[in-house]
Amino acid sequence: MTVLVTGSAGFIGAATARALLERGQEVIGIDNLNHYYDPALKRARLDNLGRQFGNRFGFEQVDFADADALNRLGDDHRFDGIVHLGAQAGVRYSIEHPAAYVQSNLVGHCNMLELARQRGTRHMVYASSSSVYGSNKSLPFRVEDRVDHPLSMYAATKKADELLSESYSSLYKVPLTGLRFFTVYGPWGRPDMAMWIFTKALFAGEPLPLFNRGEMRRDFTYIDDIVRGIVACLDSPPADDGSLKAGGSTSPHALYNIGNNRSEDLMRVVELLEQATGKKALLSPEPMQPGDVKETFADISAIEHDHGFKPTTSIDEGVPKFVAWYRDYHKV
Ligand SMILES: NC(=O)c1ccc[n+]([C@@H]2O[C@H](COP(=O)([O-])OP(=O)(O)OC[C@H]3O[C@@H](n4cnc5c(N)ncnc54)[C@H](O)[C@@H]3O)[C@@H](O)[C@H]2O)c1
Quick one: what percent of the chain has pLDDT higher than 90?
99
Query: Is 133 a known active-site residue?
Result: no
**Residue with CA nearest ligand 1 atom 43:** 89
- Mean pLDDT (the chain) is 97
pTM confidence score: 0.98
d(CA 57, CA 45): 12
Mean pLDDT, rounded, for 307-329: 98
Are the C-beta atoms of 254 and 214 separated by less than 8 Å?
A: no
Q: Of the listed 154, 185, 222, 326, which one is catalytic? A: 154
Residue 68 pLDDT greater than 90, yes or no:
yes
Dihedral sign for Cα atoms in the order 125, 130, 133, 138: positive
Q: How many angstroms separate the first and last alpha carbons of the chain?
A: 40
Residue 90 to residues 97, 98, 192, 291, Cα–Cα distance (Å): 10, 11, 8, 10
Distance 150 CA to ligand 1 centre (A): 19
Residues 226-241 have pLDDT tens digits of 999 999 999 999 999 9
Q: Which domains does the chain have, with CATH numbers?
A: 2-189+221-261+297-312 (3.40.50.720)
Among residues 324, 292, 330, the alpha carbon closest in space to that of 134 is found at: 292
**Cβ < 6 Å from ligand 1: which residues?**
7, 9-13, 30-34, 42, 63-65, 85-89, 104, 108, 127, 129, 181, 183-184, 190
CA-CA distance, 9 to 88, in Å (whole number)? 13
CB count in 10 Å sphere of residue 35: 8
> CA 172 → CA 38, 158, 164, 168, distances in Å?
38, 21, 12, 5
Q: Provide mean pLDDT across the span 125-129.
A: 98
Instruction: Work out the pLDDT band at 135, boundaries 50, 70, 90.
Output: confident
The three-class DSSP label of residue 275 is helix
Distance 87 CA to ligand 1 centre (A): 4
Average pLDDT for 116-138? 96
Q: What integer pLDDT is reported at residue 230 of this predicted model?
A: 98
pLDDT at 1 over 90: no
Q: What is the DSSP letter of 105?
A: I
